[in-house]
Amino acid sequence: MANKPQKFRSTGGAKRNKPVKIRGNTISKPLLKSPKQVDVPSTKPAVRTHNTEESSLREDNDLIYGRHPVLAALENQRHLNRIWITSRLRYDPRFHSLVTQAKENGAVIDEVESKRLDQITHHANHQGIAAQIAPYAYSDLGELIDQAKATESPVIVAVEGITDPHNLGAIIRTAEAIGAQGLVIPQRRAAGITSSVMKAAAGALENFPVARVVNFSRALEELKEAGFWIYGTAATASQPLHTVQFSGSIVLVIGAEGEGLSLLTQRCCDVLVSIPLLGNTPSLNASVAAGMALYEIYRQRWLNMLHLENLK
Protein backbone atom coordinates (compact mmCIF):
# COMPACT_ATOMS: atom_id res chain seq x y z
CA MET A 1 0.00 0.00 0.00
CA ALA A 2 1.16 3.50 -0.76
CA ASN A 3 2.58 5.71 1.91
CA LYS A 4 0.29 8.25 3.50
CA PRO A 5 0.10 11.29 1.21
CA GLN A 6 1.35 14.64 2.39
CA LYS A 7 -1.41 16.71 3.95
CA PHE A 8 -2.13 20.12 2.49
CA ARG A 9 -4.08 22.98 4.07
CA SER A 10 -5.43 26.00 2.28
CA THR A 11 -5.01 29.09 4.48
CA GLY A 12 -30.28 43.26 -14.49
CA GLY A 13 -33.58 41.75 -15.12
CA ALA A 14 -36.15 42.88 -17.63
CA LYS A 15 -37.44 46.46 -17.33
CA ARG A 16 -40.84 46.61 -15.65
CA ASN A 17 -43.59 48.97 -16.83
CA LYS A 18 -44.82 51.55 -14.33
CA PRO A 19 -48.29 50.81 -12.97
CA VAL A 20 -51.03 52.97 -14.48
CA LYS A 21 -52.92 55.10 -11.96
CA ILE A 22 -56.65 55.35 -12.60
CA ARG A 23 -58.38 58.36 -11.12
CA GLY A 24 -62.09 58.17 -10.58
CA ASN A 25 -64.70 60.71 -9.46
CA THR A 26 -66.23 60.45 -6.02
CA ILE A 27 -69.65 58.83 -6.18
CA SER A 28 -72.08 60.59 -3.89
CA LYS A 29 -74.96 58.16 -4.35
CA PRO A 30 -74.81 54.39 -4.04
CA LEU A 31 -74.99 52.52 -7.32
CA LEU A 32 -78.18 50.58 -7.84
CA LYS A 33 -78.03 47.05 -9.11
CA SER A 34 -79.63 46.61 -12.51
CA PRO A 35 -82.37 43.99 -12.67
CA LYS A 36 -80.59 42.38 -15.61
CA GLN A 37 -77.27 42.28 -13.83
CA VAL A 38 -76.19 38.76 -12.99
CA ASP A 39 -73.81 37.86 -10.14
CA VAL A 40 -70.66 36.29 -11.59
CA PRO A 41 -69.21 33.55 -9.42
CA SER A 42 -65.75 34.24 -8.09
CA THR A 43 -62.85 32.58 -9.93
CA LYS A 44 -60.89 32.30 -6.68
CA PRO A 45 -60.47 28.60 -5.85
CA ALA A 46 -62.41 27.31 -2.92
CA VAL A 47 -60.47 26.64 0.25
CA ARG A 48 -59.96 22.92 0.70
CA THR A 49 -60.05 21.38 4.13
CA HIS A 50 -57.72 18.54 5.03
CA ASN A 51 -58.14 15.72 7.44
CA THR A 52 -56.80 17.15 10.70
CA GLU A 53 -54.98 13.99 11.67
CA GLU A 54 -53.17 13.50 8.36
CA SER A 55 -52.41 17.24 8.03
CA SER A 56 -50.67 17.27 11.41
CA LEU A 57 -48.58 14.31 10.33
CA ARG A 58 -47.20 16.27 7.39
CA GLU A 59 -46.75 19.64 9.07
CA ASP A 60 -45.93 19.10 12.75
CA ASN A 61 -44.43 15.63 13.01
CA ASP A 62 -42.81 12.96 10.90
CA LEU A 63 -44.16 9.52 10.19
CA ILE A 64 -42.14 6.33 10.40
CA TYR A 65 -43.42 2.97 9.30
CA GLY A 66 -42.22 -0.58 8.92
CA ARG A 67 -41.28 -3.07 11.61
CA HIS A 68 -37.55 -2.31 11.87
CA PRO A 69 -37.78 1.52 12.09
CA VAL A 70 -40.66 1.49 14.58
CA LEU A 71 -39.15 -1.33 16.64
CA ALA A 72 -35.85 0.57 16.86
CA ALA A 73 -37.71 3.72 17.95
CA LEU A 74 -39.57 1.76 20.63
CA GLU A 75 -36.45 0.05 21.92
CA ASN A 76 -34.63 3.39 22.19
CA GLN A 77 -37.67 4.97 23.88
CA ARG A 78 -38.07 7.71 21.30
CA HIS A 79 -41.03 9.97 22.03
CA LEU A 80 -43.95 8.69 19.96
CA ASN A 81 -47.19 10.65 19.85
CA ARG A 82 -49.25 7.94 18.22
CA ILE A 83 -48.90 4.37 17.00
CA TRP A 84 -51.11 2.68 14.41
CA ILE A 85 -50.78 -1.09 14.55
CA THR A 86 -52.72 -4.09 13.35
CA SER A 87 -54.18 -6.32 16.06
CA ARG A 88 -52.11 -9.23 14.81
CA LEU A 89 -48.84 -7.34 15.21
CA ARG A 90 -49.73 -5.68 18.53
CA TYR A 91 -49.68 -9.00 20.34
CA ASP A 92 -46.51 -10.15 18.62
CA PRO A 93 -43.93 -10.86 21.38
CA ARG A 94 -41.48 -8.40 19.79
CA PHE A 95 -43.94 -5.51 20.02
CA HIS A 96 -46.43 -6.20 22.80
CA SER A 97 -44.42 -5.06 25.84
CA LEU A 98 -42.80 -2.17 23.97
CA VAL A 99 -46.14 -0.86 22.70
CA THR A 100 -47.56 -1.15 26.23
CA GLN A 101 -44.61 0.83 27.57
CA ALA A 102 -45.07 3.49 24.89
CA LYS A 103 -48.73 3.78 25.93
CA GLU A 104 -47.65 4.30 29.55
CA ASN A 105 -45.34 7.07 28.33
CA GLY A 106 -48.25 8.90 26.72
CA ALA A 107 -48.48 7.50 23.19
CA VAL A 108 -51.94 6.92 21.74
CA ILE A 109 -52.29 3.34 20.47
CA ASP A 110 -54.74 2.71 17.62
CA GLU A 111 -55.51 -0.82 16.51
CA VAL A 112 -56.43 -0.46 12.86
CA GLU A 113 -56.97 -2.49 9.74
CA SER A 114 -54.25 -2.72 7.13
CA LYS A 115 -56.35 -0.53 4.81
CA ARG A 116 -56.16 2.35 7.30
CA LEU A 117 -52.36 2.04 7.38
CA ASP A 118 -52.39 2.11 3.59
CA GLN A 119 -54.16 5.47 3.77
CA ILE A 120 -51.87 6.93 6.43
CA THR A 121 -48.65 5.86 4.69
CA HIS A 122 -49.96 6.50 1.14
CA HIS A 123 -49.71 2.79 0.30
CA ALA A 124 -46.10 2.42 1.42
CA ASN A 125 -44.74 -0.90 2.70
CA HIS A 126 -45.80 -0.32 6.32
CA GLN A 127 -45.69 -4.00 7.37
CA GLY A 128 -48.58 -3.50 9.77
CA ILE A 129 -47.29 -0.61 11.86
CA ALA A 130 -46.69 3.15 11.69
CA ALA A 131 -45.88 5.79 14.28
CA GLN A 132 -46.04 9.56 14.59
CA ILE A 133 -42.65 10.71 15.84
CA ALA A 134 -41.23 14.10 16.73
CA PRO A 135 -39.04 15.65 13.98
CA TYR A 136 -35.49 14.32 13.88
CA ALA A 137 -33.15 16.12 16.28
CA TYR A 138 -29.89 16.87 14.46
CA SER A 139 -26.61 16.89 16.34
CA ASP A 140 -24.42 19.95 16.54
CA LEU A 141 -21.23 19.50 14.51
CA GLY A 142 -19.08 20.24 17.55
CA GLU A 143 -20.93 17.62 19.59
CA LEU A 144 -20.57 15.10 16.77
CA ILE A 145 -16.80 15.72 16.62
CA ASP A 146 -16.45 15.34 20.40
CA GLN A 147 -18.41 12.08 20.39
CA ALA A 148 -16.41 10.72 17.47
CA LYS A 149 -13.06 11.65 19.02
CA ALA A 150 -13.95 9.53 22.05
CA THR A 151 -13.36 6.55 19.72
CA GLU A 152 -9.89 5.58 18.58
CA SER A 153 -9.41 6.43 14.87
CA PRO A 154 -13.00 7.56 14.23
CA VAL A 155 -14.64 7.67 10.81
CA ILE A 156 -17.25 10.28 9.85
CA VAL A 157 -19.12 10.24 6.55
CA ALA A 158 -20.01 13.53 4.84
CA VAL A 159 -22.36 13.57 1.84
CA GLU A 160 -22.83 16.47 -0.56
CA GLY A 161 -25.86 16.95 -2.77
CA ILE A 162 -27.65 13.66 -2.09
CA THR A 163 -31.30 14.40 -2.87
CA ASP A 164 -32.66 10.84 -3.00
CA PRO A 165 -33.89 9.90 0.51
CA HIS A 166 -33.46 6.19 -0.21
CA ASN A 167 -29.81 6.74 -1.11
CA LEU A 168 -29.23 8.78 2.04
CA GLY A 169 -30.95 6.15 4.17
CA ALA A 170 -28.87 3.39 2.61
CA ILE A 171 -25.65 5.33 3.31
CA ILE A 172 -26.67 5.78 6.95
CA ARG A 173 -27.54 2.10 7.30
CA THR A 174 -24.20 0.99 5.85
CA ALA A 175 -22.13 3.54 7.78
CA GLU A 176 -23.69 2.62 11.13
CA ALA A 177 -23.47 -1.11 10.46
CA ILE A 178 -19.81 -1.02 9.53
CA GLY A 179 -18.81 1.12 12.51
CA ALA A 180 -18.66 4.80 11.46
CA GLN A 181 -19.27 7.43 14.14
CA GLY A 182 -21.64 9.85 12.38
CA LEU A 183 -22.76 11.74 9.29
CA VAL A 184 -22.58 15.34 8.07
CA ILE A 185 -25.07 16.67 5.51
CA PRO A 186 -25.64 20.17 4.05
CA GLN A 187 -28.79 22.08 4.88
CA ARG A 188 -29.51 23.25 1.33
CA ARG A 189 -29.94 21.37 -1.95
CA ALA A 190 -29.83 18.00 -0.20
CA ALA A 191 -32.20 15.56 1.47
CA GLY A 192 -32.76 15.83 5.20
CA ILE A 193 -33.81 13.15 7.66
CA THR A 194 -37.38 12.33 6.65
CA SER A 195 -39.64 9.34 7.15
CA SER A 196 -38.39 7.88 3.84
CA VAL A 197 -34.80 8.18 5.04
CA MET A 198 -35.71 6.57 8.38
CA LYS A 199 -37.39 3.72 6.55
CA ALA A 200 -34.37 3.12 4.29
CA ALA A 201 -32.00 3.34 7.26
CA ALA A 202 -33.91 0.46 8.92
CA GLY A 203 -33.44 1.69 12.48
CA ALA A 204 -29.80 2.77 12.15
CA LEU A 205 -30.63 6.40 12.98
CA GLU A 206 -31.48 5.48 16.56
CA ASN A 207 -27.76 4.98 17.23
CA PHE A 208 -26.15 7.19 14.60
CA PRO A 209 -25.84 10.99 14.98
CA VAL A 210 -26.35 13.29 11.99
CA ALA A 211 -25.19 16.92 11.87
CA ARG A 212 -26.84 19.27 9.36
CA VAL A 213 -24.63 22.25 8.51
CA VAL A 214 -25.27 25.54 6.72
CA ASN A 215 -21.79 25.77 5.17
CA PHE A 216 -20.54 22.37 4.01
CA SER A 217 -16.98 23.46 3.11
CA ARG A 218 -16.61 25.31 6.41
CA ALA A 219 -17.69 22.15 8.21
CA LEU A 220 -14.93 20.20 6.45
CA GLU A 221 -12.40 22.83 7.54
CA GLU A 222 -13.64 22.51 11.12
CA LEU A 223 -13.15 18.75 10.91
CA LYS A 224 -9.61 19.34 9.64
CA GLU A 225 -8.90 21.58 12.60
CA ALA A 226 -10.09 18.76 14.87
CA GLY A 227 -7.45 16.44 13.37
CA PHE A 228 -9.44 14.60 10.71
CA TRP A 229 -8.04 13.71 7.27
CA ILE A 230 -10.53 14.47 4.51
CA TYR A 231 -10.83 11.85 1.76
CA GLY A 232 -13.12 12.68 -1.16
CA THR A 233 -14.36 10.27 -3.81
CA ALA A 234 -14.06 11.43 -7.42
CA ALA A 235 -14.20 9.45 -10.64
CA THR A 236 -11.26 11.41 -12.11
CA ALA A 237 -8.99 11.06 -9.07
CA SER A 238 -5.56 9.62 -9.78
CA GLN A 239 -5.29 7.52 -6.61
CA PRO A 240 -7.29 4.26 -6.69
CA LEU A 241 -9.08 3.46 -3.45
CA HIS A 242 -7.12 0.29 -2.69
CA THR A 243 -3.72 2.03 -3.00
CA VAL A 244 -4.41 4.61 -0.28
CA GLN A 245 -3.45 3.88 3.31
CA PHE A 246 -6.30 4.95 5.59
CA SER A 247 -5.26 5.61 9.17
CA GLY A 248 -6.08 7.99 11.99
CA SER A 249 -9.23 10.10 12.14
CA ILE A 250 -11.00 10.09 8.76
CA VAL A 251 -13.81 11.93 7.01
CA LEU A 252 -15.08 10.18 3.88
CA VAL A 253 -16.82 12.63 1.52
CA ILE A 254 -19.35 11.27 -0.98
CA GLY A 255 -20.86 13.32 -3.80
CA ALA A 256 -24.13 13.04 -5.68
CA GLU A 257 -24.59 10.80 -8.69
CA GLY A 258 -23.71 12.49 -11.95
CA GLU A 259 -22.44 15.75 -10.47
CA GLY A 260 -20.05 14.27 -7.92
CA LEU A 261 -18.22 16.59 -5.55
CA SER A 262 -18.22 20.30 -6.26
CA LEU A 263 -14.89 21.97 -7.04
CA LEU A 264 -15.01 23.84 -3.71
CA THR A 265 -15.47 20.59 -1.81
CA GLN A 266 -12.68 18.90 -3.78
CA ARG A 267 -10.34 21.72 -2.78
CA CYS A 268 -11.27 21.10 0.86
CA CYS A 269 -10.19 17.46 0.61
CA ASP A 270 -6.68 16.32 1.55
CA VAL A 271 -6.85 13.35 -0.82
CA LEU A 272 -9.13 12.45 -3.73
CA VAL A 273 -9.62 8.74 -4.39
CA SER A 274 -11.36 6.83 -7.16
CA ILE A 275 -13.00 3.41 -7.38
CA PRO A 276 -11.65 1.65 -10.50
CA LEU A 277 -14.38 0.40 -12.84
CA LEU A 278 -13.85 -2.11 -15.62
CA GLY A 279 -17.32 -2.19 -17.18
CA ASN A 280 -19.08 0.29 -19.43
CA THR A 281 -21.07 1.90 -16.61
CA PRO A 282 -19.36 5.25 -15.93
CA SER A 283 -20.23 5.64 -12.24
CA LEU A 284 -21.67 3.94 -9.19
CA ASN A 285 -24.72 4.67 -7.10
CA ALA A 286 -23.71 7.00 -4.23
CA SER A 287 -24.71 4.55 -1.51
CA VAL A 288 -22.81 1.72 -3.23
CA ALA A 289 -19.69 3.88 -3.57
CA ALA A 290 -19.93 4.85 0.10
CA GLY A 291 -20.24 1.19 1.10
CA MET A 292 -17.23 0.15 -0.96
CA ALA A 293 -15.05 2.97 0.36
CA LEU A 294 -16.08 2.33 3.98
CA TYR A 295 -15.36 -1.37 3.62
CA GLU A 296 -11.87 -0.65 2.29
CA ILE A 297 -11.15 1.66 5.24
CA TYR A 298 -12.22 -0.93 7.79
CA ARG A 299 -10.68 -3.84 5.87
CA GLN A 300 -7.28 -2.19 6.27
CA ARG A 301 -7.90 -1.65 9.98
CA TRP A 302 -8.98 -5.23 10.52
CA LEU A 303 -5.81 -6.46 8.80
CA ASN A 304 -3.69 -4.19 10.99
CA MET A 305 -5.40 -5.52 14.11
CA LEU A 306 -4.76 -9.12 13.05
CA HIS A 307 -1.14 -8.27 12.31
CA LEU A 308 -0.65 -6.74 15.75
CA GLU A 309 -2.28 -9.74 17.43
CA ASN A 310 0.03 -12.13 15.56
CA LEU A 311 3.06 -10.17 16.78
CA LYS A 312 2.11 -10.74 20.40
Are residues 188 and 305 located together in one domain of the fold? yes
Are residues 174 and 234 located together in one domain of the fold? yes
Question: What Å distances lie between residue 296 and 175, 234, 274, CA to CA?
Answer: 12, 16, 12
Q: CA–CA separation, 170 vs 167, rounded Å? A: 5
Q: CA–CA separation, 163 vs 255, rounded Å? A: 11
Q: CA–CA separation, 267 vs 98, rounded Å? A: 48
Domain CATH code at residue 271: 3.40.1280.10
Q: CA–CA separation, 98 vs 15, rounded Å? A: 64
Q: Is the pLDDT of residue 312 over 70?
A: no
Are residues 228 and 298 located together in one domain of the fold? yes
Q: Is the pLDDT of residue 64 over 70?
A: yes
- Determine the structural domain holding residue 234 and report its residue range: 141-311
Are residues 104 and 162 located together in one domain of the fold? no
Last residue of a domain, one of 133, 149, 178: 133
Please tell me what DSSP assigns to residue 256.
Answer: B
pLDDT at 105: 84
Phi-psi region of 77 (alpha: psi -120 to 50; beta: other; left: phi over 0): left
Q: Is the pLDDT of residue 155 over 90?
A: yes
Q: Is the pLDDT of residue 160 over 70?
A: yes
The model's pTM: 0.67
Domain CATH code at residue 92: 3.30.1330.30
Are residues 122 and 211 located together in one domain of the fold? no
Q: CA–CA separation, 246 vs 184, rounded Å? A: 19
pLDDT tens per residue, range 49-59: 334 444 334 43
pLDDT at 16: 43
Number of domains in the chain: 2
Are residues 167 and 73 located together in one domain of the fold? no
Q: Is the pLDDT of residue 272 over 90?
A: yes
Comparing 67-81, 110-124, 228-242, 296-310, the range with the smallest average pLDDT is 296-310
pLDDT at 140: 95
Contact indicator for 283, 254 with CB cutoff of 8 Å: no
Comparing 65-69, 237-241, 280-284, 294-298, the range with the smallest average pLDDT is 280-284
Any domain includes 81: yes
pLDDT at 45: 40
Are residues 118 and 209 located together in one domain of the fold? no
Instruction: Tell me the three state secondary structure of residue 83.
Output: strand
Are residues 255 and 129 located together in one domain of the fold? no
pLDDT at 218: 96
Q: CA–CA separation, 242 vs 2, rounded Å? A: 9
pLDDT at 221: 96
pLDDT at 307: 57
Contact indicator for 212, 185 with CB cutoff of 8 Å: yes
Q: Average pLDDT in the 230-255 region?
A: 91
pLDDT tens per residue, range 5-36: 544 444 444 444 444 443 343 333 444 444 44
